[in-house]
């Protein structure tokens, strides 16, 4: 079975960030591009565990997960 990668897909495993992509894991949110060892080991994607500007479930200062409440604008 061959893996089809688009020109914009990553070529390095999204879990270990070292090995080339050789496996695809389908999820409810899309797909994970992984090396064989990470796919067989059930490793999570590191972009989910360590998002930009923070550690798991922490956000960059000044960044909110909710839009600001602007009140009742009529």
- Mean per-residue pLDDT pooled into runs of 10, the chain (74 residues): 80 92 90 93 79 53 50 54
Q: What is the C-alpha separation between 39 and 22, in angstroms, rounded?
A: 9
Q: Count CB atoms within 10 A of the CB of residue 71.
A: 6
Beta strands at 30-34 and 23-27: parallel, antiparallel or unpaired: antiparallel
Note whether residue 49 is domain-resident.
yes
Map residue 16 onto helix, strand or coil: coil
Considering its fold, how many domains does the chain have in total?
A: 1
pLDDT of the residue at 5: 85
Q: What is the C-alpha separation between 31 and 15, in angstroms, rounded?
A: 12
pLDDT of the residue at 64: 47
pTM (2 decimals)? 0.60
Q: Which domain holds residue 1?
A: 1-65
Note whether residue 71 is domain-resident.
no
Note whether residue 74 is domain-resident.
no
Map residue 60 onto helix, strand or coil: coil
Note whether residue 23 is domain-resident.
yes
Note whether residue 51 is domain-resident.
yes
Q: Which two tokens stand for residue 26?
A: 């389908």
């Amino acid at each position: 079975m061959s893996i089809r990668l688009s020109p914009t897909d990553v070529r390095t495993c999204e879990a270990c960030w070292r090995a080339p992509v050789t496996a695809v894991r389908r999820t409810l949110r899309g797909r994970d591009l992984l090396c064989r060892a990470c796919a067989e080991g059930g490793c999570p994607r590191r972009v989910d565990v360590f998002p930009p500007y923070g550690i798991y479930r922490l956000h960059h200062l000044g960044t909110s997960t909710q839009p600001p409440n602007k009140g009742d604008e009529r």
